[in-house]
Amino acid sequence: MSSPTKQPASAASAGPRRSLSARLRPLAAAGTVWYLRLIALLNLVAVVAAPFRQTVRHHSEGQFFTPYLATAGLAAAVLSLFLAVAMRRRKRAAWIFNCGLGGLTFLTYVLALGVPGADHYNRHAFNYFSAVLTGLFMLCLVVGRKEFTSKGDRSNPWMAAATFVGGLLLGGLVGSLLVDANNSLSGAGFGDRFGYALARMITVTPSERVMDVIDVPNWVNAFINAMGAVLFLLVLYVAFRSPRGKELLTPEDETRLRELLAKQGERDSLGYFATRRDKAVIFSPSGKAAVTYRVVGGVSLASGDPIGDPEAWPGAIELWLAEAREHAWAPAVTGASEEAGMIYARHGLDALELGDEAIVELDEFSMEGRAMRVVRQAYNRVKRAGYTVRIRRHEDIPEQEMVELLNRADHWRDGQTERGFSMALGRLGDPADGRCVMLECHDGDGELRALLSFVPWGEKGLSLDLMRRDRESENGLVEFMVIELLEKGRKELQLERVSLNFAMFRSVFERGSRLGAGPVLRLWRSILGFFSRWWQIESLYRANAKYRPIWEPRYLLFEKSSELPRIGIANARAEGFITAPSLPALFRRRHRRPAVPSAPPPAPAAEGDGKG
């Protein structure tokens, strides 16, 4: 029997050393975050508690010094808090900033303790405590350095400097105008007033040289101080912000996505919405799956299920998560199915049920029976009024007619913002979407009164994309059009299923109205009913329930519960419910994602695949 091969001592010991280092790195990185959180808390306590503030200030004056960033000031508290957030997101820029400022602080403390003297820094035990605590923070930075890999925008330092200079100039100008309007003394020139405002913004205490010519009310000083605080926060935000992520679908990306949809488009009713051109895409190494997403407010927001072969989904998900962590984006998925949610969960994401998607199987839909009596009556009422519906593929609509339909759709749109992200295409009438289906509703005089547009869901399904109608038309036109599609779609378009609207929190409304519902569920239903006055929450559920659909749950997926408010705002922005101001195009930067070498070239598109 041969004896096992022995490894060299150096090689044998390298493994344990690497494993120990790998275990210590996350702990050290977490230690820096908790240190900064603790310092931020102590600074805040010192701001509001006068005795503690006096103690801290006593230990930071004369022959004393305090640990890194512990100054009993509001500015230091804000800086510590910002740095803690940036370090928790593993931003490299924050690590470099702490290394520079913390290293200089620690070096100063060591030199101060080394200076001899009868009554000097080395005579006070608290200084040793401050130096040791600062040194431990620096040690954690060094040990955990490989954990901080998230990249910032390359323009951040220059933008932060420009923001600081521009903010100072603007604040100094505004402050000088306020001083000029409220000064009770005479003899102050523009330079004196401008310098006074700058000093109030930066140091809080103005120069004694101008005290003989400037005397203003306290509210003026408070306002100038507040401008300085806002400027400080803005500079911090610009310095540590994540890259914007402005990549959009290229024609090649869209071609590859359509090829995947041609093979696997039956799986997800939201699959076609992945071709939105305001999204970016990451393909799996095999090229058989893809995740589409958009970066909004530092959130990498994917929508629906990954496209393509489920066996290749993990490869695309891993690359998407790796890119999100590389740029300190919070990964999130909106509108994922249960199947995709389980796969995302294996990669560390948690799930929260958003609501349900209404899917109608055409072979099971019927207008007969007592349960459909109200729907049947409404349908017959609209039909007796002379309304008719025409169903056509987009590719069958002449160009001039399509232009007229687009004009009507824009005219009927509610507001200037085109809403939708996860369940809307956002490009009605595009020549590439010839397989989409248009429903046109005309009144008895032949006047167009409403439009519905559906995107393909595989070969035998449709998913609702756009819904517009004339506000002065007959009530119930949309229901009339949907029923016409459900009754005629099987024969005219060879359809088997249709996906209608998404009903958020449907289960709350359904279970909350049942006999025996608990007080918490009833309260939650009442709250949602209250907000339904402004947002169509309950009304969407009621509108879909009348068709007696199959309800398919959809989920919001996220990595950390603390990121949920941020993800919720990003989702609302993506869907068009919140419009945030943006910088001019001149200042926008795009990061470039390196190509995946192992991804094969896209296969040629199959002819006659039925996709536009």
Per-residue pLDDT of 278-291, as tens digits, reads: 889 999 999 999 99
Looking at residues 565-592, what average pLDDT do you find? 64
pLDDT at 473 > cutoff 90: no
The confidence score (pLDDT) of residue 419 equals: 58
**Does residue 77 carry a pLDDT above 70?**
yes
Distance of CA 518 to the CA centre of its chain: 34
Specify the pLDDT at position 415: 57
At 246-288, the pLDDT tens digits run: 667 888 999 999 999 999 888 899 999 999 988 899 999 999 9
| Region 329-354 average pLDDT | 92
pLDDT at residue 572 in the model: 84
Residue 41 has pLDDT above 60, yes or no: yes
Taking the CB of residue 425, how many other CB atoms lie within 10 A of it?
Answer: 20
Dihedral, 495, 501, 505, 506 alpha carbons, nearest 10: -50
Instruction: State the Cα–Cα distance between residues 108 and 105, nearest whole angstrom.
Output: 5
> Where does residue 318 rank: exposed (0-12), middle (13-18), buried (19+ CB within 10 A)?
middle
pLDDT of 402 higher than 90: yes
Q: Rounded to two decimals, what is the model's pTM?
A: 0.71
Give dist(CA 368, CA 380) in Å, integer.
Answer: 13
Tokens of residue 123, six digits:
């005579």
Amino acid in the structure at residue 301: L
Extended beta strands in 435-496, E state: 437-442, 448-456, 461-469
Confidence (pLDDT) at 52: 73
Question: pLDDT class for 187, splitting at 50, 70, 90?
Answer: confident
pLDDT (mean) for 488-516: 78
pLDDT of residue 575: 79
- pLDDT for 530 equals 65
Residue 112's pLDDT band (boundaries 50, 70, 90)? confident
Span of 93-102, 216-225, 386-395 with lowest mean pLDDT = 216-225
Q: What are the tens digits of pLDDT across the range 297-338?
A: 889 999 989 999 999 999 999 999 998 888 888 899 999 999
Task: Identify the CA nearest to 360 among candidates 489, 491, 509, 477.
Answer: 489
Q: Is the pLDDT of residue 109 over 60?
A: yes
Most confident of 112-126, 175-189, 514-528: 175-189
Dist CA 127 CA 110 (whole Å): 10
Task: Tokens for 554, please give them.
Answer: 């959809």
What integer pLDDT is reported at residue 538 of this predicted model?
Answer: 63
Q: Quick one: pLDDT at residue 71?
A: 78
Nearest residue to 479 via CA among 364, 607, 383, 351: 383
Q: Go through the chain and tell me how many residues it has.
A: 612
Q: Which residues contact 31 (CB under 8 A, 6 or more apart)?
A: 136, 137, 140, 144
Please choose, from the candidates 351, 352, 357, 284, the residue with its C-alpha nearest in 3D space to the C-alpha of residue 319: 284
Q: Return the pLDDT at 589.
A: 41
